[in-house]
Chain A
């Protein structure tokens, strides 16, 4: 069946099986492989994207459910020359090692900062408890999000995140 999903600001129409998950639609139909799959029980958070501005695990959503919706993936957050403050934060504070959980972490953190511009350490940890990282022990991820919040507080709204 045909679905049209606005991904990172562009509409894409594809013929998909009804059972196709949004994450597979993004990865396999649109070749947006920045969104990762780390489990099959919706617990690792590596596949987190934004659907209509809310952070969603894209393995829990069917592509057909996203029909007509706005989806933002890590590829829509910023480019190496114009990074989102969270991308800068993860880079500056060594908030990643293997990089596999990183897109999901950044997308989940973006939702937090949208609702809470100055989160405490506890709030950051609580908000990210749906995202597994096996490399960093989370210490530098917390610092990365704090750093991003500081950049944003100083008006450093680079990247393409301002809209959601």
Chain B
């Protein structure tokens, strides 16, 4: 099923090719680094080469005489300008938050922390000088891993975070869980590492700032998923600029995956530099800078335990996690390993008791924040790895073990033991469709046939649910969010009947410029060619909270729908007036407003739009114009779910894992544009598969990033991945006007677990290996096979 269920929609549900693509395929995209303002200067960052160091001095004179060098800025310039610490956007009870200055003043806390900035006439001259700047560092003891950082003798990252523990958080009933374990028929326990990831949007971050002294106005072009959040933070908390005097434009953005949500140091620096220099200033990250300055993802050390009764019904799930936060806490950092993780640790199962305990730990590494899925891939991994281990322990088929523990359709709305209320769901059809699509019994038979050869097969079946569409503002406010999570939309109809839509959501690849007009074209009953979407400019749209947490369609799309309904309501009144009929007698069908039963008397949308603006004849007391704004606050999260299956083939001689097939059935409610939905799923699968098989933001124990370029950080390439088989079930969200649920993160939330379980399925069937941490590189898998065979009495070298 790949279309929505409404029979009247002309555009909603159609796999239209994207309206935005002509500019991208002809090289006419407009990304931040493409923008040139005459007279602009260029900045280069001087970054700490040490994970932890005292800054004893910076000799500005060492570069100030160099050609083209205009200025050197240090932490003292930030202090002198009265610029505040970059704030955290989500506060937990008793959270300990160290200061995060735009330029480090006395201490650098991770490799890549900014200690100075050179501003020069060209980028090359700025980088030359940045490489030459004399900085007197005094290296300090440092620590990279969460487990090591909480040891008694561990180096302290920030003096105001004693023991390096930023927070202790828990959810669920620990006593109830223990009671279930006391009566359990069987229990399993796993120790899991969910490794550090580096998001790696292919467009590096960039910022370009301009200051106009006469008006006091600032303009900032930046690579942002949420320009209004940047404006709010910069204006109110960091720069002390009147909010209306800062315009933030996020033009075409080359991928985000979470890494472009956050308020970064460089954006603050560009605004300050533009003001101090009286000229526009631009900075564009090199990839090597991106590795040590883009917020990173995951990095959990976790213990899980599951208990079942004698029938194999789940009784309880217990999770204990150390979350590595890195050297600073950025915008959503405290929420990711807590409310976006612990509350999801129930999965799709009827679990009488769940308890999740998380400790947030500071280390001398690049900060960790939301990366595609943000907490939910980690939760899915913790659950689905453990579920497979339990299925093995019980000798049950992993698919059937899951099926018999599913929350059933009649159980919704379902209150989990970890706070969430799943408002809708129907998990079994997605499981069955996936099993059929992938021919599961045949795969198991093939696995048996290959057993013992030097090519072994692994098959996984994982089922997930996630919570997205962030979020009901009052609820997240209670939980510590320092922001609203509604969305706004403005619909502006011109006298000619052409329409512009404005949204606070932002597209950095998700196809808003097509999907949003699809919604509008149906509501207004006009051709989609007459509608364009504007986004990414605080100077043009009312307000908004941007795009992350798979919220654009569910929240931004719903705001649009409400604004459109205001337009059609007013348009109908005008049409009725022009037709000299009562409003109740007018219907809006097939693109015209007409009197019921008198189809020859009608007015087009253009007639109405024109009269709304001419205002020669409007209903008594009606304001002219045809424009509407809506602010939409969702009533709940949305809960996409589905089943993903991976098939891997492992060469036991080399340890190389080949992802042979991948299939999934997702439920994101009705599909606005199936082409775009499928693209989101494909990309999500690839990123999760990347985590399972190749990617690791590896540090040494002191905090030196060992994977700091594409030479060491391995992302999937075209020849590493298969074609994906994907399908959908459609269970609409019961609470938003479109029924839609998010799909931007589902692929990633499910696929790291699916690929991991497939690899472990092969290794368990062949060698009895119960667990191995991601990523499953050839070396790691080969060693595990060798060690297990050695343990079974076989020669290690055969």
Contact = CB atoms under 8 A, between A and B. Distances in A.
Nearest to A43: B710
B718 A34 contact: no
Contact of A41 (B31, B711, B717, B747): B711
B17 interface: yes
Nearest to A104: B202
B26 A75 contact: yes
Given A139-B682, A140-B679, A134 B687 contact: yes
A68 interface: no
A78 interface: yes
A87 B26 contact: yes
A22 B257 CA distance: 30
Interface stretch (B333-341, B507-515, B699-707, B730-738): B507-515
A152 interface: no
Given A75-B26, A98-B253, A132-B717, A137 B21 contact: no
A163 interface: no
A46 B202 contact: yes
B715 to A, nearest CB: 6
A32 interface: yes
B17 A134 contact: no
A94 B24 contact: no
Given A131-B718, A135-B509, A94 B254 contact: no
B287 A39 contact: yes
A155 interface: no
Interface in B182-230: 200-204
Contacts of A149: none
A39 B36 CA distance: 21
A31 B254 CA distance: 19
Interface in B15-42: 17-18, 20-31, 33-34, 36
Contact of A106 (B22, B25, B254): B25
A101 to B, nearest CB: 5
Nearest to A131: B718
B18 A138 contact: no
Contact of A99 (B509, B715, B721): B509
Nearest to B255: A98
Contact of B509 (A98, A121, A125): A98
A31 B18 CA distance: 26
Interface in B698-748: 709-711, 715-721, 723-724, 747
A78 to B, nearest CB: 7
A90 B511 CA distance: 14
B286 interface: yes
Interface residues of A, number: 59
Contacts of B119: none
A91 B719 contact: no
Contacts of B161: none
B124 interface: yes
B719 A137 contact: no
Contacts of A98: 201-203, 252-255, 508-509
Contact of A97 (B34, B510, B709): B510
Given A38-B203, A139-B723, A94 B683 contact: no
A159 B287 CA distance: 33
A73 interface: yes
Interface string A91-108: 110101111111100100
B428 to A, nearest CB: 27
A98 to B, nearest CB: 3
Interface centre among B21, B22, B678, B720 (most CB of A within 10 A): B21
B254 A17 contact: no
A32 B26 CA distance: 11
25 contacts: A34-B26, A34-B29, A37-B204, A43-B711, A87-B25, A87-B26, A91-B17, A94-B675, A97-B509, A97-B679, A98-B201, A98-B253, A99-B20, A100-B31, A100-B202, A103-B27, A126-B719, A129-B719, A138-B686, A138-B716, A139-B682, A140-B678, A140-B682, A141-B718, A142-B723
Interface of B: 17-18, 20-31, 33-34, 36, 124, 200-204, 252-255, 257, 286-288, 508-511, 675-676, 678-679, 682-687, 709-711, 715-721, 723-724, 747
Given A17-B124, A33-B27, 6 more contacts: A38-B203, A87-B25, A99-B25, A100-B255, A101-B202, A141-B718
Interface of A: 17, 19, 27, 31-41, 43-44, 46, 73-75, 77-80, 83, 87, 90-92, 94, 96-103, 106, 121-122, 124-126, 128-142
8 nearest A-B residue pairs (beta carbon): A34-B27, A100-B254, A99-B24, A137-B686, A98-B509, A97-B509, A74-B27, A137-B682
